[in-house]
Chains A and B, each alone.
Chain A
Amino acid sequence: MFEKRDEQLIEQALKGNKKAWFALIKRYETGIYQYGIRMTGSTHDAADLMQDIFIAVFKSLSNFRGDGSFKAWLYRIAHFRCIEFYRRKRPDTNLDEDQELSCERPGPEHTLITDITSQSLTHAMQRLPLTQRAVIELKFFGQFTFDEIAEQLGISSNTVKSRLYSALSKLKLDLEVEHG
């Protein structure tokens, strides 16, 4: 059976077809949920962020012009919603590039991630600044190119590479610690 393209589902959803919208959600909800887990470190926050992202995506759906992939557009909105999520949650925290967000102790929901490597990775990513975490997320989990990441984050491709290098250098220690 042939799957409908994202653009077809979007067109139908804009006409009020709920099934088309749910099909689009089903296609991307797992990725967005895992994105939320890795970006927030909490399954509850990830669920809230996921709902927030899809509400924002539906409201902006008519603005999607189709000049890029829907996935890239979706993750761009996800990134903005994630920043907004942190601003709401920690209004006093500066989300600038060099500012690191302190890692919260893993809550009970952290144990929901049964795989030890995934748990360690999620925990390690929380030690990174939000901007570096976003680059790691988009490069290794979103499988985007450097140019696509640069466009999504509104920065240059060289800045993306620099942030990735810094993130990997720091994450290295964390992974070692986690494995140790």
Chain B
Amino acid sequence: MVNQSPEYLLAQWLDNALSNEERRAFEALCVSDADFAATVQNATQLNVAAEQFSAPPMPAWNKNASFIAPDKPRWWQWQGLPAVSMAMSVVAMVMVISGFSVQVADGRVTLGFGSAAPEGLSETQVAALVNQRISDYQQSNQAMFTQYVNALKQQQQENSTQLAQYLLTSSRQERREDFAELVQFINQQRDDDQRYYARQLTHLQREINAIDDGYSAVTE
């Protein structure tokens, strides 16, 4: 069954997709329907007009206004920075490990790492120089230590003498004081004895006197 709607037939005709039956229906409609025929004719005219359409020249318009540049990342946000840092680190390590050394005599470009010797001195001379310096250093150290030990020894002797003298002095004084205390104690003891004997004699005299008094009474 052919779709005979004018819209469909016109659309198929415009797309150049009419089947034989649809073409027959289309042509029949063009003959029978004046409005449809005029519409088809108008479409044909419009097709030609579209092909021949001439517009005025393009005005100068601000194309820049339509472009919004994306934010550019800062240099420290550059993605290659970590890789470059890593590469530089590796290069530095290689230079250090390999004893990197560049010397240009007259141009005075001297780069060096590791054990490169100073200009004008051989390795033996450097070793001798180092040994000489070490020997001097040892000798000066030894002299200084000897001087230090002697000073310590002398100070120790002085301290010992002072201590002995102090001990002697203090022990004499203590002995003197001890003897004085002993003499004082003995004297005090003798005083006490004398008082004791005096009291004993007094008591004895009283008893004798009492006996004498009793005897006298009896005899009387």
Contacts and interface: CB of A to CB of B under 8 A. Distances in A.
Chain B contact residues: over half helix, strand or loop, or mixed?
helix
Nearest to B46: A140
Interface in B28-80: 35, 38-39, 41-43, 45-47, 49-50, 52-56, 58-59, 61-63, 65-70, 72
Contacts of B53: 34, 115, 117-118, 121, 141
B112 interface: no
Chain A contact residues: over half helix, strand or loop, or mixed?
helix
Interface string A43-60: 100010011001101110
B10 A165 contact: yes
A51 B72 CA distance: 25
Nearest to A21: B67
B65 A175 contact: no
Contact of A58 (B14, B45, B68, B72): B68
B56 A140 contact: no
Contacts of A43: 56, 59
Contacts of A18: 67, 69
A22 B45 contact: no
B7 to A, nearest CB: 4
Contacts of A51: 61-62, 65-66
Given A145-B15, A165-B7, A114 B54 contact: yes
A172 B39 contact: yes
B42 A175 contact: yes
A37 B52 CA distance: 15
Given A136-B46, A175-B45, A164 B7 contact: yes
A105 to B, nearest CB: 18
Nearest to A44: B59
B50 A146 contact: no
A75 interface: no
Contacts of B7: 158, 161-162, 164-165
Contact of A146 (B11, B55, B59, B72): B11
Interface in A4-54: 13-16, 18, 21-22, 25, 29-30, 33-34, 37, 43, 47, 50-51, 54
Interface residues of A, number: 45
Interface in A129-173: 136, 139-141, 145-146, 158, 161-162, 164-165, 168-169, 171-172
Contacts of B45: 175
A55 B10 contact: no
A163 B55 CA distance: 25
A117 B49 contact: yes
A25 B43 contact: no
B11 A33 contact: no
A141 B58 contact: no
A67 to B, nearest CB: 23
Contacts of B38: 169, 172
B66 A112 contact: no
B54 A168 contact: no
A168 B67 contact: no
A55 B68 CA distance: 9
A13 B69 CA distance: 9
Given A140-B47, A161-B7, A16 B69 contact: yes
* In the A-B complex, the 5 residue pairs with the closest CB atoms: A172-B42, A112-B56, A54-B66, A161-B11, A115-B54
15 contacts: A15-B70, A34-B53, A50-B61, A54-B63, A57-B66, A113-B56, A117-B53, A141-B50, A145-B15, A162-B7, A165-B11, A165-B39, A168-B42, A169-B38, A175-B42
Interface of B: 6-8, 10-11, 14-15, 35, 38-39, 41-43, 45-47, 49-50, 52-56, 58-59, 61-63, 65-70, 72
